[in-house]
Chain A
């Protein structure tokens, strides 16, 4: 559906996007993650034809962005960061203007505006000027704007930034609803959001792709370590250390005195081996009393930090 090759953008001497290549399939929800200034917005702006790439190609369906910018813009619905809408228009007037520009048929126009108002929960604010709306409502008007002509591809730039938790859940609900049939590309720096909504994630750092894959595969590949936490009673710390570090597959052992004469152990393990059964057997052979036993995968934040704080 979307094919991006070697996309590069210079602002003067500053290289904002540096040779990004991407493929997005039909019906996929792709999340672009990255720290501030990584080049997310610039990438999306090039994708939507708002700014011209310094180098590289973008093809959407069979159209290339240089020659068929207008056709591409007809296929795309775009919600820019913080929904910069016309301040002095009424919400209804604004949506009607968008419907005109998007060439919604005259007879379909009013029903379509109503449909969008229902879907995005705009019915109470239709007669208000955009400038008087709260951030959440503006964002929803922006969503209605992007979906007006039922485009095949939707591009959202930080769709939930600045919203309260309830609004975030609502917007995510809407996005997941759209994502069932449409191709969606969204950028965010909220990791749980990407985890909750996206099929696939691309992490950008300093204009380059740092990682690309599903959430699961990212968690697997990045670092690859996991931890096992134990809480033992009736055990001497030295003995625990000695016994456990002798086990194959254990990378590190960290012990600590806990409340009530217990020993807390944190074992660093490699993903390739599953140590749980072996550990259980081991503990059974001793007189240690096992109080806690749990496994901890590396958190998303951890992976994100690892990928974006390198260099």
Chain B
């Protein structure tokens, strides 16, 4: 794992030397800011509940856009060959790239800290759910980054990687909202599989080990699948 910091540094820097980072961050902030504040004053409540309710769906679109290039671009231009003939292991590459995208998502969330701060001036803000919400947002973002990374390792076409990533993230974010279509025994399982359900639990301010374990296993599974996809290619 000695090479992880180098891969991480390279990938993280690449985000910020190209315009992608600034475009994605701007779109994210505009979309989420507009949806949040357009209804905020109607509820007349000093809380960030609406912000966190929106987050899984917005993430499902934004994060695959962040991760789509990580492997697809390398496969497309062939730099993959250069990377893998240097003394690095698959594991180091996968973990390094994953951490870079997770760090990027943290950087993307950072400006939204202005929301709780400004809301706290307007009324009496309960900080518990806010802290829980941000912890949940980081876990959710990292999980979706893992999924996006996996989608990216499947194809050399970034658009395909984006669409596959959105499809999986969207399903994970919304599956617990459409449970009434399924028979009761299946519904419980599907609810547990949905990322939206676990995120909402954490965003209430309850840090349950089951929810945290869910996100960690989702991250692990997607990284492992990425690893397999890479091995398959060589």
Cβ B87 vs Cβ A78 within 8 A: no
Chain A residues within an 8 Å CB radius of B82: 78, 80, 84-85, 145
CB pair A87 B234 closer than 8 Å: no
User: Could you give, for residues 1-36 of chain B, a 1 whenever the CB lies within 8 Å of some chain A CB and a 0 otherwise?
Assistant: 011001101100110011000000000000000000
A73 to B82, CA, bound (A): 11
In this complex, what residue of A is CB-closest to B7? A101
Indicate if B120 sits at the interface (CB-CB under 8 A): no
Given that A51-B234, A52-B234, A101-B6 are known contacts, is A76 also in contact with B14, CB under 8 Å in the complex? no
Q: B87 touches which one: A73, A87, A90 (CB < 8 A)?
A: A73
Answer whether residue A50 sits at the interface, using C-beta atoms and an 8 A cutoff: yes
| Interface presence of A63 (CB below 8 A) | no
Q: B89 to A70, Cβ gap below 8 A?
A: yes
A48 lies within 8 A of chain B by Cβ: yes
Cα-based distance from A140 to B10 in the complex (angstroms): 21
Of all chain A residues, the one with the shortest Cβ separation from B89 is A70
Known: A52-B234, A100-B6, A101-B6. A88 touches B14 (CB 8 A): yes
List the A residue with the shortest CB-CB distance to B15: A88
Pair A86/B79 contact, Cβ less than 8 Å: yes
A102–B78 CB distance below 8 A: no
Known: A51-B234, A84-B79, A87-B77. A73 touches B18 (CB 8 A): no
Q: Which one of B77, B78, B87 has the highest number of Cβ atoms from chain A below 10 Å of its Cβ?
A: B87
* Residue numbers in B under 8 Å from A90 (CB-CB): 17
Residues of A within 8 A of B3 (CB): 101
Total chain A interface residues with beta-carbon distance under 8 A: 28
**What is the minimal beta-carbon distance from B88 to any residue of chain A, in angstroms?**
6
- Residues facing B in A3-37 (CB within 8 A) are none
Q: B10's closest neighbor in chain A, by CB?
A: A97
User: Inside 8 A of B73's CB, which chain A residues have their CB?
Assistant: 87
Q: How far is the CB of A138 from chain B (nearest CB, A)?
A: 11
Alpha-carbon separation in the docked complex, A103 to B82 (Å):
16
The residues of A that contact B6 with a CB separation of less than 8 Å are 97, 100-101
Contact B86 A101 (CB under 8 A): yes
Contact B79–A98 (Cβ < 8 Å): no
Question: A80 touching B81 by the CB < 8 A rule?
Answer: yes
Q: Are A70 and B87 in contact (CB under 8 A)?
A: yes
Let me know if A98 and B86 touch, CB within 8 A. Answer: yes
B85 interface residue (CB < 8 Å to A): yes
B11 → chain A closest CB, angstroms: 10
A76, A82, A89, A145 interface centre (most CB from chain B within 10 Å): A89
Counting CB contacts under 8 A, is B58 at the interface?
Answer: no
- A268 on interface, CB distance cutoff 8 Å: no
Is B84 located at the chain interface by the 8 A CB criterion? yes
Query: What does the 1/0 interface line of B85-121 toward A look like (CB < 8 Å)?
Result: 1111100000000000000000000000000000000
Q: Are A102 and B86 in contact (CB under 8 A)?
A: yes
B87, A50: Cβ atoms under 8 Å? Answer: no
Q: What B residues does A145 contact at CB under 8 A?
A: 82
- What are 30 A-B contacts with C-beta separation under 8 Å? A45-B81, A49-B84, A49-B85, A50-B81, A50-B85, A50-B234, A52-B234, A70-B87, A73-B85, A74-B87, A78-B82, A80-B82, A80-B85, A84-B77, A84-B80, A84-B82, A85-B82, A86-B14, A86-B79, A87-B77, A88-B14, A88-B17, A88-B18, A90-B17, A97-B6, A97-B10, A100-B9, A101-B7, A101-B88, A145-B82
Starting from the known contacts A84-B78, A102-B87, 8 additional A-B residue pairs (CB-CB under 8 Å) come to A74-B87, A80-B85, A84-B77, A86-B77, A86-B79, A88-B14, A88-B17, A98-B86
Shortest Cβ-Cβ A-B pairs, 5 listed: A84-B78, A100-B6, A73-B87, A78-B85, A48-B85
Residues of A within 8 A of B (CB): 45, 48-52, 70, 73-74, 76, 78, 80, 82, 84-90, 93, 97-98, 100-103, 145
Residues on B close to A: CB < 8 A?
Answer: 2-3, 6-7, 9-10, 13-14, 17-18, 73, 77-82, 84-89, 234
